[in-house]
Amino acid sequence: MKIGVVGHGRMGKKIQEVIESYEHEVVFPKVSLKEATTLSFPSNISLLIDFSHADNLEKVLDYGAAHQLPVVIGTTGYSEEQFQAIEAFGQRFPILYSANFSLGIFVMNQLVKQAAELLKTWQIELIEKHHDQKKDASSGTAQSLLASMQEVRKLSPVFQWKDQPRKTDEIGVHSLRIGSLPGEHEVLFASTDEVLSIKHESFSNQIFAEGAVSAAFWLSNQPAGYYQLADTLGG
Determine the Cα angle at 215 with ends 213 and 218, to 5°: 115
Catalytic residue among 134, 135, 162, 174: 134
3-state class of 129 per DSSP?
strand
Residue 59 falls in the annotated catalytic set: no
Residue 25 CA: distances (Å) to CA of 13, 31, 63: 13, 18, 19
The DSSP output letter for 233 is T
Q: Which residues contact 218 (CB under 8 A, 6 or more apart)?
A: 232
Residue 135 falls in the annotated catalytic set: no
How far apart (Å, rounded) are the C-alpha atoms in residues 190 and 200?
18
Indicate if the alpha-carbon torsion angle 39, 42, 45, 50 is positive or negative.
negative
Catalytic residue among 14, 113, 129, 130: 130
3-state class of 66 per DSSP?
helix
Asked if 103 and 178 count as a contact pair (C-beta separation under 8 A), the reply is no
Could you give the residue numbers annotated as active site? 130, 134
